[in-house]
A and B are shown apart, each in its own frame.
Chain A
Amino acid sequence: MSTESTAKQLSIPGVDFHTDEPLVHGNLSFHDITELVSYHTEKKTPMGWYAAFSGASLLLLILLVMIAYLFWNGIGVWGLNNPVGWGYAIVNFVFWVGIGHAGTLISAILFLFRQKWRTAINRSAEAMTIFAVICALLFPTIHVGRVWVIFWTLPYPNQMEMWPQFKSPLIWDFFAISVYFMVSLMFWYVGLIPDLATLRDRTTRKLRQKVLGALALGWTGANRHWRNYEKAYLILAALATPLVLSVHSVVSFDFAVSIVPGWHTTIFPPYFVAGAIFSGFAMVVTLMVVARKVFGIEDIITVNHLEKMNIIILLTGSMVGFAYITEFFIAWYSGVHYEQYAFINRAFGPYAWAYWTMLSCNLLFPQFFWIKKLRRSIPFMFVIVILVNVGMWFERFVIVVISLHRDYLPSAWDYYSPTLVDILTLVGSFGLFFTMYLLFLRFLPMVAVAEVKGVLPEAHPHFYKHSGDGQEADHTVGVTPKRDA
C-alpha cells in the first residue's frame, strides 16, 4: 500500500492536503524517527565529520588571526577610506543578521500559523540562526576603531556619568540584535528539552547521562511537563514573532536614519525584512540539501519541505526585487537630485558590476522557481540558493559601499576596494559559522524529534483504532535507519 493512499484512507492529520502528501516519507514509526535522528549524535564520529570540522576550524583560525592583526594594527588594514567609512565589516554584519532571520521565522511565525511542515527543519534552522547572529554580532564589535572601549555603547552606570546616545541607531541595533539573540537562544533551547531527554534516556555512558541530564532539566515526558512546555513554547513564539520583524527593521535604521543618498529611504525596514527572510531561507535550503543527504534523513526533510521553502524564496525574492524597482521609482519621483544620482550611480557607476550581480541573483534567478519541476530539483535549487546567498551579500555591498563612495560633494568621491584582510575575514566568518554548525550536527539532534513525531500519522489519537481491537493497523511502520551515514 502506498503511503499516499494510506494517508487518504486514514484521513488523519499530519498530512498536508494541499499537496496531498504526508510530511514524513518512508512510513516511519516514532521509534524510527528517534533512531534516525539520535543515531547521529551517538555513533562513532565519522571521518567525514573530522574532515569538514578541520576545514571549518582552519577558516575559523584564519578569522582569529585576521582579528588579531586588525586589533594589533588598526582599522587601516581594511580597505576603508574617507568617504567609505563602512565596508566589508558592515556588509558582512547585515548579511549574517539577514541569514539569522529564517530560523526564528520558521520556528515562531510558522508555528503560530500552524505550518506543520516546519517541524522537519526548525531545529537546524534555529541553530543556523543562532550561529549566524553570533557571526553578525562579531562584525560591529571588531569594526570600531577602539575596540577596547566598546563597552561604552552599553548603558551601565559609571563614574563618568556618561550614557550611550540613545538617538543613535547603533544603540538600537545593539538592543535589537542582542534581544533577538537571547530570545532565539531560549526558544531553541526550550525546543531542545524533550529531545535532550530522549538522548539522555538512550545513552548508557555516565558522563553523557550527566550532561544531557542537566541540560534536559529533569524532563520526564509527564503530562504536566508537556502542558507547561507547550505553553512556554507558544509564549516564546509569540515573543519571537515581533522580533523577527523588528530586528532587521532596526538594522535597516542604521542606514535609513542617516542622510546619505541611497541610505535615507523609508522603504528600508520592510525591504530589509523581506531580504532577510529571503537570504535566511536560501541559507536553510543550502544547509538542508546537504545535511539531509549526508545524514540520510531525506524522509524527514523531504523535497516537499524544500519546495515550500523555495516558494518562500520566490515570494520574498520578488518582494526584494519589487523594492529595488520602487527605490528607483522613488528616486526619480522625489525629484531630489542626490537620490537620483545615487541610484543612477548604482546601476551605471564604477560599481555597476556589483549592482547587476545583485539584481540578477536576487530578482532574476529565483524566478525560475515558478516552474515546479525546477523548484523540486535538488541540484537546480542548490545552485539557485547559492546564487541568492551571493546576491544578498552583494545587496548589502551595494547599499553600504556604493551609497557612500559618491555622496554629496564630488570632490570627496573615492573608490573602495577591499584588502586581503577584508576578504579573509569574510571567509573566516564562514569558518566560525560552520565550526559551530558542525558541532551542533555532531552533538545535538538536528531534527526536532518530538515535534516531528507530532505530525506523524501515528500521533493521531485514532491511529490505532482502525483495526478495532486496539492493536496496530495492518500496515507496518518502520524501516531500518541507514547506518552508513
Chain B
Amino acid sequence: MIELPVIDVSEDVEQTSRARFWRSIHHFQNDPEYRRIIREELLPGASDGPSGASRRQFLQIMGASIALAGLTACRRPIENIMPFVRKPEEMIPGVPAYYATSMPFRGSLRGLLVKSTDGRPTKIEGNPEHPDSLGATSVFEQAALLSLYDPDRSQTVLRNGKPSSWNDFYNFLSGRLADHRVAVISEPNSSMTFAALREQLSRRFASLDWIEYDATGDDAFASASRKVYGQALRPRYHFDRAKVILSLDADFLGATDRDTISNTRGFAAGRRVDDGSEMNRLYVVESQYSITGGMADNRLRLRSSDMAAFVAALAGEFGIVVSGGEAFADHAYVKEIAVDLRRAGPKGVVLAGESQGEAVHALCIAINDILGAVGETVTYLEGNEESAYRISVLRDLIASMSAGRVDILFIIGANPVYDAPPDLGFADAMGAVRETIHLGLYVDETASASEWHLPRTHFLESWGDGRSYDGTMSVTQPLIAPLYEDARSELEIISLAATGARTTGYDLVRQTWQGILGSNFEAAWPRVLHDGLLPDSGFGAVIPRLRTSALPSAVSTVDAGIELVLRLDNSLLDGSYANNAWLQELPDPTTKIVWDNVAIMNPATAESLGLGMDLTNGRHFVDRVTITVRGSSVDVPIWIQPGLADQTVALALGYGRTTVSNRPERRTNLFDLDDYTDVYGHGAISTGVGENVSVLRSSDSMSVITGAEFVRSGGDYMVASTQDHGALPEEQDEVARRGIFRMATLEEFRADPHFVSEHEPEPIRESWAEYPTLWESDHPTGEDAYKDNDYYRNQWGMVIDLNTCTGCNACIVACQSENNIQVVGKEEVSRGREMHWLRLDRYYVSGDGLSHDDPHMVIQPMPCMHCENAPCEEVCPVSATVHSPDGTNQMVYNRCIGTRYCANNCPYKVRRFNYYNWTKTLPITIQMAQNPNVTVRSRGVMEKCSYCIQRIREVNKRANIEERAPEKGEVVTACQQVCPASAITFGDLNRADSEVNKKRKSTRRYELLAELGVKPRTSYLGRIRNPNPRLMSEA
C-alpha cells in the first residue's frame, strides 16, 4: 500500500516553543486517546467502513484483478508442459495403440483388444484373434471401460470403515497368519496363476477352506453332467451346425449368457438365407420374454416350473421314461418339436437355461445324446468342476464360520452379504469370524461388513491370466497403472497371504506362464502378450458316455400358483456392474426400462393380482407390490409385458445396492440445476436404484420360487422406459401399415424373394439401381470439387440385417463409448431425453393367429440413416448439419445454435438434443473415459450418429499418407465392430466388391420410409422366420 506523508500530531505538540493554539484540554495534554482519534481522522483509511478492505485496497485489488483477468485471456498454461526427452517406445502422441488383454466374465475370460490413447484406455473391442471373441463383444465388455474410471471405486484400504494403509494391513497379516484357520470365498476365476496361488496357500494352511461363490448358485448343467456323465462339463453349442434348436428357458443369445458371443455368432450363421442355404429353426419355451424368445420361430410361453414336465414329456418321445410329464404328453409343441428334432438328428440340439434345475438339464443332455448331437451341435468341455456344488460348499463354510472354526476369511470379488440366499445366514456367520478381509472394486455391502477392505485393481490395471469359455489360455495385461495407489489385484493379495512377500502381479503371471510355455518361454511370451492368448490351448472336447441309469426317473411338478423367476439382469448382471452409468441407462432389451428393476408379469397375471399400470403424459406410472417369500419381502414396482407365461412374475437381480461413495453430494442454489443434471452428484450410481430381490431366494430355490405372496403396496411409481407406448394395439397396426419392420416366413420368402417390396408404400420416386444418384448428379466426377477431394471417392453406406440382429444391446454401449454419449438419469429418460445415438426399437407383432397376449417380438436398430436427401440439412438456418463429400450427414457442433428444427424434420427421430450441459459436471475420471477423437458436446447442440466419422477420417488419413485408397472393409463403425451376429455391414458403396454392396443386392433389402424420398443410406434386410407350419395356428 502506498504510504502518504501525514503529519504526526504528536511530534510538534511538545517541542515547539512558539505560541500554541489548542482546542481542548485533551489536545493540550496530548492525551493518547485524543492522539488516536486525531490519527485516525487524518490517516489513510480513516474513512473506512467496518469491513476489511478500504476504498484504496478495493481499487487496488480491482485494478489488479482486471489486469489479471486480462492476462488470463492469454491462456498461458499454468502447468509446465514438457515434451518427452526420450519418446517412449511405440508411443506417438495422439495416435492410439492397441493392446490385447482379456476380461473376466462369470468365471471365464473374454479376449479383448483395447485402444489406448496417450496412455489411457479409451475403447474396448473384442480381440479378433481370439477364438471366443473374433472381434465381437457383449455389452459388459464395452461398459467395463467406464467401470475403470468409475469415481465411486474404492480408493483406500479401510479398516472397520476407516482409512488405513497397506503397511497396517501387512503388519496385521504377517502377525496373524501363522497358525490361523483361513477360509477364502472367491468369485469364479479361471486364472491359472490364481489356481497356483491357491495351491500355495493350501500348502501353507492345511486347514484352508477355499470355495467358489457365484450369485447364481450351482451351475445346474455342471451338476447334471456330473450325474449323467460322471464329470462336470460345460457345453459349447455350435448353433451354426444346428437345424433345429430347442431352448427351454435358456436365453443363450442374451448378454448374461457365459458364451453369448459364440452362441450369437453361430446362431446368426444358421439364419443367413440369401445364398439359398438352409435356415435353422428355433423353438423357445420360456416363461419370460428374452431376446432369444424374440428370435424364436415358434415360441411357447410356459411357466419355468412347468419346464420340467414339458421336458419330461419330450424325453418320453425319445424313449426316456420319466414320470411327471403327463400333462404335456399330448401337447402339440412336444409332438412337433420331437418330430422336428428327430428329423434333424445330430443337427438338432436342446438346451435348458439357468433357471432350470439338474433334472431338466439331465434330460436335455440325454435328448442331445440320443439325437447324436454330441460332437456335432454341442461339444462338452471339461473345466467346470467347482461350479456344480457351490451352494453346498458355501453352506459348509457358513457352518464352520458360525461354529468359530474360521479365523480369517478372505472374500475375493464376491459380494455374498448382498446376494447370498438369506436362509444360509451368511451375514451372521461373518460376524462370528474374527478377521474378515474383503478385496473388491467398491466399498459394497460385503466390504462394509468386513473388518478390512482392500481396493482392487480393475482388470485394465492389473496383470492376470485365465481361460476363456472354450478354455483358450489368455493373458490380462494392464493398459494403465492403477488409478488409485492402494489398489491391488487378487493375485497379489493371495500371493501375499501365501508367501508373505509382496510379489507383483506381473511376476506372478510370468512365473505361471514360464511353466506353461516351458523352455521356449522367452520367445513365446512376447507373442502371447501380443496376441493376448495362447493358440490351441482350449479345453479338450470330451465324448462321454451317458449313464441312462442316472437319469431322473421322475420330475417334480409344481402345482398352480404364481411363480417368481429371478434372473441375472441384462444390464447389471448380478449387480457387479450396478455402478456403471452406461449400463444403468441401457434400456432393457425387451422392456426398454432403465434405472430400475421391476416385477414383470403378463396382463392376465397382473389382473389376477389386482395390479396395473398406466401411461400419463408420456410417463409410466405403475403399482408397487410387496412380494413375500418365507418371511423375506421386497417392495418392487411392477411392469406389464405381453408374451410372458400366465402366473409368472420375473425379477432381475443386481439392484438395490448400497455402495459407499465418499464423493460429496452436489448441492446448488435454487437457480442452478447442476445438482439435477449431475448423474454422479448424489452418491454412488448404484445406490438407491431398484430393490435387492435376492433376499427372496433360498439355497434350494435360487431362481424359481413358488409360494410367494403378492400384496399391492402402492401406486403411481414412475418407471422410465425409452419406448413410451409399449404394446398399444393401435401402435402395432401403425407399424404394420407403415412397413417399418418387414418380415416373412421362410416359405413366403422362397416363394417371393422380393417380399419386402410388397410392404413398400407408394410412391417410390426414384429407382435405386443406380446409387448414389443424387449426390452424383449434384457432384459430377469431372468437377474440381470431386477431383480435389479424395473423400468423394468413397460413398459410405450401411445395411442392417434384421434377420440376424438379436437385440443384445452391445451396439448401443459400443456407440456410447466410441462417441462420448452422455448419461442423463432416470428422470430425464422419462422425459424422453435419452442421448443414445443408436436405439433398438422393439415392436410386438400380433395377428396371424397370435393374440395380443402372445405376440412376437422384433427388434430394429435405428441409427441415423444418413439420407442422401436429408430433411434435416434443408432446414438448419446456419448450415450446422451438412452432407460430407463421402455422403455422410454430418453434425457441426461448433456451428449448431440449437433450433431443434432438424430433429423435428427427421422422420426417423434419431437426432438427440443436449437439453442440459451434461458434461459440465462430469467427474474427472469419467472425463478420462471420453474418446479424444470425438467432440464432447456441450449444452444446446444437436447430436446424432455420425457413421463414426472419426474412424472414417482416421482411415482416410492413413490411406492418404500411404498414397492409396481405403481398403475394402478398412472402415469399421463401432456398432458394426461389436456385433456378435455381424448384423451390421458398413462400407463403400462405390466399391463394387464391398460387403455392403453385396448385402445391398439382397432381395430382402428395403429402405425405411423410402416413400418420403429422403434416400436413406442405411437400409435393412427383412426378417425371415422359419416357423413350423403345423404350429402356426397354435398358441
Contact = CB atoms under 8 A, between A and B. Distances in A.
A338 B762 CA distance: 12
A408 B1010 CA distance: 12
A415 B618 contact: yes
Contacts of A83: 832, 909
Given A76-B673, A153-B877, A85 B908 contact: no
Interface in A138-163: 143-147, 149-150, 152-153, 162-163
Given A170-B901, A260-B905, A72 B940 contact: no
B671 interface: yes
The secondary structure that dominates the A interface is: loop
Nearest to A412: B909
Given A337-B761, A408-B1009, A409-B740, A170 B724 contact: no
A80 B738 contact: no
Given A76-B673, A259-B907, A337-B738, A414 B832 contact: yes
B909 A257 contact: no
B899 interface: yes
Interface string A161-177: 01111011111001000
Interface in B896-926: 896-901, 903-905, 907-909, 911-917
B878 A162 contact: yes
A228 interface: no
B317 interface: no
Nearest to B912: A82
Interface residues of A, number: 55
A410 B735 contact: yes
B691 to A, nearest CB: 27
Contacts of B828: 76
Contact of A257 (B875, B879, B895): B875
Contacts of A410: 725, 731, 734-735, 738, 740, 843
A5 interface: no
B940 A146 contact: yes
B617 A338 contact: no
B904 A260 contact: yes
A268 interface: no
Contact of A417 (B618, B734, B761, B1008): B618
A228 to B, nearest CB: 40
B833 A257 contact: no
Interface in B836-885: 839, 841-843, 860, 862, 871, 874-879
Interface in A390-418: 404, 407-417
Nearest to B881: A165
A77 interface: yes
Given A75-B940, A86-B904, A409-B862, A258 B896 contact: no
B665 to A, nearest CB: 19
Contacts of B834: 82
Given A77-B673, A82-B909, A259-B907, A162 B879 contact: yes
Contact of B904 (A164, A168, A338, A404): A404
A413 B618 CA distance: 9
A411 B737 contact: no
A260 B916 CA distance: 26
Nearest to B1008: A409
Contact of A258 (B734, B843, B904, B940): B904
Nearest to B762: A335
B831 interface: yes
Contacts of B904: 85-86, 258, 260, 404
A341 B737 CA distance: 11
A8 to B, nearest CB: 59
A86 B915 CA distance: 12
A75 B677 CA distance: 12
Contacts of A84: 832
Given A85-B913, A145-B900, A152-B895, A409 B841 contact: yes
Contacts of B617: 415, 417
Contacts of B604: none
A146 B897 contact: yes
A415 B897 CA distance: 25
A73 interface: yes
A74 interface: yes
B912 A73 contact: no
Contact of B941 (A145, A147, A259): A145
A54 interface: no
Contact of B878 (A165, A409, A416): A165
A62 B286 CA distance: 57
Nearest to B834: A82
Nearest to B940: A145
B878 A74 contact: no
Contacts of B862: 409, 411
B939 A69 contact: no
B165 to A, nearest CB: 43
A85 B915 CA distance: 10
Nearest to B833: A81
A149 B877 CA distance: 12
A59 to B, nearest CB: 20
Contact of B896 (A145, A165, A341, A412): A145
A407 B907 contact: yes
A413 B738 CA distance: 14
A86 B860 CA distance: 27
Interface string B758-769: 000100000000
28 contacts: A73-B673, A74-B939, A74-B940, A75-B898, A80-B900, A81-B832, A82-B832, A83-B832, A85-B900, A145-B899, A145-B900, A149-B897, A153-B877, A164-B878, A165-B877, A168-B874, A170-B877, A258-B875, A258-B905, A409-B841, A409-B1008, A410-B731, A411-B843, A411-B862, A414-B724, A415-B617, A415-B618, A417-B617
Given A170-B901, A407-B909, A410-B725, 14 more contacts: A75-B913, A76-B915, A144-B899, A145-B900, A149-B897, A153-B878, A164-B878, A165-B878, A254-B901, A258-B905, A408-B908, A408-B1012, A412-B909, A415-B619
Interface of B: 617-619, 671-673, 677, 723-725, 731, 734-735, 737-738, 740, 761, 828, 831-834, 839, 841-843, 860, 862, 871, 874-879, 895-901, 903-905, 907-909, 911-917, 939-942, 1008-1009, 1012, 1014
For the complex of A and B, 6 pairs with smallest distance between CB atoms? A145-B898, A145-B940, A415-B618, A81-B832, A76-B915, A85-B900
